[in-house]
């Protein structure tokens, strides 16, 4: 079943509440979510009774294949995307249009105002992102595929990892394994961080740091599902011990693991993101490492690697069934290194399901 019309209908129900004649959707990800179109340089206009996808001639055949039911406005050669939007809004006789204030640039907005002096532009909340928080069955299948791909690729990485490999060697190999396992791409540039560099939560792999330079390495990676039109992502983090397991590493690893498990146990509909975050954060604080955990506990993901909802100290979001989130507590000690463990979790009607299956016991981290 084509889910795009259902999604547009859900969006349409908010138009009256926002007191606008139409929504202008310019986020490429949101346009794709609402139409199934996988191209770029296009915008969707949604009214209570009508929809137009403003695009250009490069995509005529692709549009017919991916969203044949939509009315199109194809701008002529040489005209820019904002001209196509302006022409489509004029054709639809729109007087008040709600736009994605978190997406549309000030420069483009000012240009549209110049082209359409009689149209009123009103910023609207992130309506489409709110819809995207709840994944349907098709999306969940794609996410499960993406996780399976990521896990197979990581298993291949561990099997072939050499102490002589640089962080970059390992990251490059992991990207190759992801593609070999069926991904269209990595979900993001993989993080491979050895020893003290693992204290950088978003460390960039280097060509000079070697896997054998220290006793452990942090790997943070994910896949983008390779099924056409379903580019859903996954996001995981695991530690690999390549040398000896020191008492300090074991203490920190077990603290992070216990914090993660406590947070996962708290996930269920009706619970706030702040409550879930506090479950992990309080345990880490009790262990004396509170000041070394300075990022949020996790985030939603799907078509993008970072989506709502988000887990942090101030998060007021209420969990609902169908949300898919990461839970990724970490402890980062400058000069020593960091430990992070990350899994992907589905909120179910009665609690939650851990979608990832890679082991994370102390025994499993040894390579």
Backbone angles phi, psi at 202, to 5 degrees: -120, 45
Q: What is the pLDDT of residue 107?
A: 97
CATH level 2 (architecture), domain 4-131 = 3-Layer(aba) Sandwich (3.40)
Class of 137-365 in CATH: alpha beta
How many other CB atoms sit within 10 Å of the CB of residue 37? 23
Q: What is the pLDDT of residue 285?
A: 98
Mean pLDDT by 10 residues, the chain (367 residues): 88 92 97 95 96 94 93 91 95 95 96 97 96 96 98 98 98 98 97 98 97 98 89 98 96 98 98 98 98 97 97 95 98 98 98 98 92
Q: What is the pLDDT of residue 1?
A: 59
Q: Is 357 exposed, middle or buried (0-12, 13-18, 19+ CB in 10 A)?
A: exposed
Q: Which residues of 186-209 are buried (b: 16+ CB within 10 A; e: fewer)?
A: bbbebbbbbbbbbbebebebeeeb
Query: Where are the chain's structural domains?
Result: 4-131, 137-365
> Could you tell me how far CA 340 lies from the centroid of its own chain?
18
**What is the distance between the alpha carbons of residues 206 and 306, in angstroms, rounded to a whole number?**
24
Segment 172-213, tens digit of pLDDT: 999 999 999 999 999 999 999 999 999 999 999 999 999 999
**Token pair listed for 96:** 């008040």
Strand partners, 340: 330
Only one residue has tokens 């929809």, namely: 51
pTM value? 0.95
Q: What is the pLDDT of residue 16?
A: 87
Segment 329-365, tens digit of pLDDT: 999 999 999 999 999 999 999 999 999 999 999 999 9
Q: How many residues does the chain have?
A: 367
């Amino acid at each position: 079943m084509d889910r795009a019309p259902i999604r547009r209908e859900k969006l349409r129900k908010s138009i009256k509440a926002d007191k606008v004649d139409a929504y202008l959707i310019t986020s490429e990800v949101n346009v794709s979510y609402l139409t199934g179109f996988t191209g770029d340089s296009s915008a969707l206009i949604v009214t209570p009774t009508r929809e137009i996808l403003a695009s250009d001639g490069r995509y005529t055949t692709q549009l017919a294949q991916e969203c044949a039911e939509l009315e199109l406005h194809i701008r002529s050669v040489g005209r820019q995307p904002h001209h196509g939007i302006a022409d489509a809004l004029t054709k639809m006789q729109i007087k008040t249009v709600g736009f994605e204030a978190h997406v549309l640039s000030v420069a483009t907005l000012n240009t549209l105002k110049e082209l359409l002096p009689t149209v009123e532009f009103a910023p609207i909340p992130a309506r489409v992102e709110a819809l995207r928080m709840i994944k349907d069955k098709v999306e969940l299948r794609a996410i499960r595929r993406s996780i399976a791909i990521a896990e197979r690729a990581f298993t291949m990485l561990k099997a072939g990892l050499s102490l002589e490999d640089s962080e970059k060697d390992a990251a490059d190999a992991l990207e190759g394994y992801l593609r070999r396992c069926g991904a269209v791409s990595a979900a993001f540039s993989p993080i491979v961080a050895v020893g003290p560099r693992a204290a950088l939560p978003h460390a960039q792999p280097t060509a000079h740091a070697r896997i054998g330079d220290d006793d452990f390495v942090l790997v943070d990676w994910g896949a983008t599902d390779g099924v056409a039109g379903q580019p859903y992502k996954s996001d995981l983090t695991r530690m690999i011990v390549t040398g000896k397991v020191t008492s300090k590493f074991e203490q920190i690893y077990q603290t992070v693991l216990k914090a993660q498990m406590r947070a996962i146990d708290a996930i269920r509909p009706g619970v706030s993101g702040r409550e879930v975050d506090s479950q992990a954060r309080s345990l880490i604080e009790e262990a004396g490492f509170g000041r070394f955990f300075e990022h949020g506990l996790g985030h939603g993901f799907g078509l993008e690697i970072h989506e709502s909802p988000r887990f942090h100290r101030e998060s007021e979001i209420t969990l609902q069934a169908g949300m898919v989130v990461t839970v990724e507590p970490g402890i980062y000690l400058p000069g020593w290194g960091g430990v992070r463990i990350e899994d992907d979790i589905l909120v179910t009607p009665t609690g939650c399901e851990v979608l990832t299956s890679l082991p994370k016991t102390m025994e499993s981290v040894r390579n």
